[in-house]
Amino acid sequence: MDAKKKLSEKYKWNDDKREDKGKDTKKKNDVKKSNVCPYAKKCGSCHFQGVSYEEQLAKKQKELKQLLGGFGKVSKIIGMENPYHYRNKVHAVFGRLRNGTIVSGVYQAGTHKIVDIESCQIEDEISSKIIRDIHGLLRSFKIKTYDEDTGYGLLRHVLIRRGFTSGQVMVVLVLGSPILPSKNNFIKAIRKLHPEITTVVINVNDKKTSMVLGERNITVYGKGYIEDELCGCTFRISPSSFYQVNPVQTEILYQTAMQFAGLSGKERVVDAYSGIGTIGIVAAKAAKEVICVEQNKDAVRDAVTNAKRNEVRNISFYQKDAGEFLVEMAEQNEKADVVFMDPPRNGSDEAFLSSVVTMTPDKVVYVSCNPVTLARDLKYLVKRGYEVRKIQGVDMFPFTEHVETVVLLSKGEVDSKKIRVEFSLEDMDMSEFQDGATYTQIKDYVLEHSGLKVSNLYISQIKRKCGIGVGKNYNLPKSEDSRQPQCPPEKEKAIREAFKYFGMI
């Protein structure tokens, strides 16, 4: 059974639905308010709890139209037929209550108090069960959970990654020490409960930090990685590899990008911000040559392995900053027919974009996870002679505010009317999106990279410290004497890191 058919059967997704983007899926994807997650108020990870899926899509469509409508028609967002349990990467933090009870789950919003979670509506069910069973084995194996206040204890986090087409499962035990007592017996016990586990890795995080993963991985069972299939290609996923967490929508996202590129087998393609090579390897099957550039050396190593695994030979990989690499290509009068760009949330930079303009590719396919920075980058390209041809939103993260977008640009004459509409973006009420990222995006980044939950108040405090304007809709204290909690140092550090990531400082 091929990968696409497996996905179709698991999620009741088919080509008819894929082709008909505008079809009303109200019956299939309606989410009633009675289905609100019992942990919603404490967890805070899902912004749209209690909102029907149809309404969630409508809100995201409205945001895309507000930010991108000035560039062209925004096609109807592609949603999921089953918006539940889509995350193939599940993480839980472990700890103890004062009475000694072991708990595992997520940090309560704005605190380091762990919310003990039995199940999550958006996380893979098999992965969640494995975490609960690991939780249940700890006492009998006398494994102590880590106490971040004292620095004592062993088990800090558990990370599960599952290949939705391969069925392979990786268990990552994040420990404060490389030594796990009764290691072999513990692994046997968890594999007896879950024989689907194909590899177990110990990640050593012995520093007093809020980061989840440490730098050292020790494989204690299996190969130390799993493989999964995407768009007919096989990819190797290690504990720290970036790999999209929603397999169904990723397939749609990349299919859309390939469709926009319209490759015929004659093109020279550049895949910027290429990661482990997912887009580049898929494109290589329909292009003459693909050049991938990625700054992270571990990602480049995985990409080379993935290319060999898929017997793709018309592809090359370079470990370098994407902006610097394209500048060098432009200076050497190198050309490309198609440029794929899939930058991080803070978007691209002027050096990269100006190099794209200099190289004059026939097509630019921009895959974005942040419509705010996407609008900024499109504005730059349109002013310099590119035209936006297609805009397609893909809902990768139901129940959250995040949305992915694929945009096709091609060379064309500058249209003064379009530029006039484009500049009207500056006249919009952008207070919610100003300074590079929304409060929600900053909170999500901090949570994902440090495990901390921060409030709008704390973010605004650090914004003011950094000289960043606070949105006019944010309620400041009525007087300087107003009593309000002050942002703790560790949260200030995490917020500043988020600011740097989004290019705000």
**102 within 8 A of 38, measured Cβ to Cβ:** no
CA nearest to 411, candidates 331, 327, 336: 336
Pair of tokens at residue 191: 């594999």
Domain range for 199: 89-230
DSSP helix/strand/coil, 159: strand
pLDDT reported for residue 470: 56
Provide the pLDDT for residue 113. Answer: 81
Q: Is 11 annotated as a binding residue?
A: no
Query: How high is the pLDDT of residue 321?
Result: 87
Q: Which residues participate in catalysis according to the annotation? A: 369
Domain boundary among 398, 427, 456: 427
- State the total domains in the chain: 3
Which one, of 32, 63, 45, 3, lies nearest residue 255 by Cα? 3
Same domain, 335 and 423: yes
Claim to verify: residue 293 and residue 384 sit in the same structural domain = yes
Q: 63 in a domain, yes or no?
A: no
Query: Same structural domain for residues 274 and 131?
Result: no
Residue 30 lies in a domain: no
Rounded to whole angstroms, what are the CA distances from 234 to 166, 172, 220, 318?
A: 9, 21, 24, 21
- Residue among 485, 494, 489, 17 nearest 210 (CA): 494
447 shares a domain with 313: no
In terms of domains, do 370 and 444 share one?
A: no
Residue 346 within a domain: yes
Give CA–CA dist 229/4, Å, rounded: 9
| Residue located via tokens 């921060």 | 454
pLDDT at position 418 is 42
CATH of the domain at 123: 2.40.50.1070
Backbone phi, then psi, for 105, in 5-degree steps? 160, -125
244 is in an annotated binding site: yes
Residues 451 and 353 in one domain: no
Domain membership flag for residue 58: no
At position 283, the amino acid (one-letter code) is A
Residue 320 lies in a domain: yes
Let me know if residue 111 belongs to a domain.
yes
pLDDT in tens, the chain (505 residues): 444 444 444 433 333 333 444 444 444 445 444 477 777 777 767 888 888 999 999 999 999 999 999 999 999 999 999 999 999 999 999 998 888 889 898 887 777 788 888 888 899 999 999 999 999 999 999 999 998 888 889 999 999 999 989 999 999 999 999 999 999 999 999 999 999 999 999 999 988 777 888 889 999 999 999 999 999 999 999 898 878 899 999 999 999 999 999 999 999 999 998 989 999 999 999 999 999 999 888 889 889 999 999 999 999 999 998 888 988 888 888 899 999 999 888 888 888 899 899 889 999 999 999 999 999 999 999 999 999 999 999 999 999 889 999 999 998 654 434 444 343 434 444 443 344 677 777 887 888 788 788 877 788 888 888 878 654 333 334 333 345 678 888 899 988 888 887 778 8
Do residues 257 and 404 both lie within one domain? yes
Could you tell me the CATH number of the domain that includes residue 404? 3.40.50.150
Pairing relationship of beta strands 386-394 and 74-78 according to DSSP bridges: parallel
Residues 414 and 478 in one domain: no
Residues 457 and 422 in one domain: no
Last residue of a domain, one of 230, 259, 284: 230
Query: Do residues 446 and 419 both lie within one domain?
Result: no
Do 304 and 356 reside in the same domain of the chain? yes
Domain end (from 427, 458, 492): 427
Same domain, residue pair 125 and 190: yes
Q: Which of these, 79, 78, 61, lies nearest to 69 by C-alpha position? A: 61
The SS3 call for residue 200 is: strand
Residue of 175, 162, 161, 170 whose CA lies nearest to 212: 175
Tokens of 103: 């708990």
The strand pairing partners of 87, in sequence order, are: 123
Tell whether 441 is in a known binding site: no
Secondary structure letter of residue 76 according to DSSP: E
- Whether 142 maps to a domain, the answer reads yes
**Does the annotation flag 146 for ligand binding?**
no
Tell whether 495 is covered by a domain: yes
